[in-house]
Amino acid sequence: MKRQLMWLLIGATFVVFLASGSFYFYVKRVQRSMAYFQTVGELVQHGKLDDAITILKDTLRKNPYSAEAHAALGMIYNKKELPDDALSELKTALKLKPDLINIYQEMYLIYKKKGMEEEAKSALDSYEKLKGIK
């Protein structure tokens, strides 16, 4: 009985250790992610769009499933007046994470600039639906 209790305690300790380690690495990854978005934001504020694009493309080479990076890249492409590239990145972001509400606003603006009224209305409808307006 004592032996079973000892093994149970060892097992429980191991599980707690694994969970703590996983949480630690998750927090570190989130901190790195936030830091790189802050860097990209600062570059955009200073008009260094090409530098921001370079960082985002590097990030996407390492993690092509980062919806936030695709969204940020799409928004920067829109600032650079590259609407087709912007839409491509924004659509990729939506495929990865359909609830990124700001993407629909950005797409609406791009579609309006391009004179694509139906697509603009669809993007606005999606935005309003997620926002809870309709």
pLDDT tens across 39-49, in order? 888 888 889 88
Question: Residue range 102-120: average pLDDT?
Answer: 92
| Residue 123: C-alpha distances to residues 66, 89, 132 (Å) | 21, 15, 14
The pLDDT, as a whole number, for residue 30 is: 46
Distance CA 97, CA 46 (A): 28
- Structural domains of the chain sorted by starting position, each given as residue range(s) with its CATH number in brackets: 37-131 (1.25.40.10)
Question: Residue range 91-99: average pLDDT?
Answer: 92
Q: From the centroid of its chain, how far is CA 34? A: 11
pLDDT for 83 beyond 90: yes
Query: What tokens were used for 120?
Result: 């603009």
DSSP state of 78: H
Question: Residue range 110-131: average pLDDT?
Answer: 89
Whether the CB-CB separation of 110 and 122 falls below 8 Å is answered with no
Q: Which of 33-37, 64-68, 83-87, 89-93 has the lowest mean pLDDT?
A: 33-37
User: pLDDT tier at 130 (50, 70, 90 boundaries)?
Assistant: confident
pLDDT for 15 beyond 80: no
The pLDDT, as a whole number, for residue 40 is: 81
The pLDDT, as a whole number, for residue 125 is: 87
Question: Residue range 52-57: average pLDDT?
Answer: 91
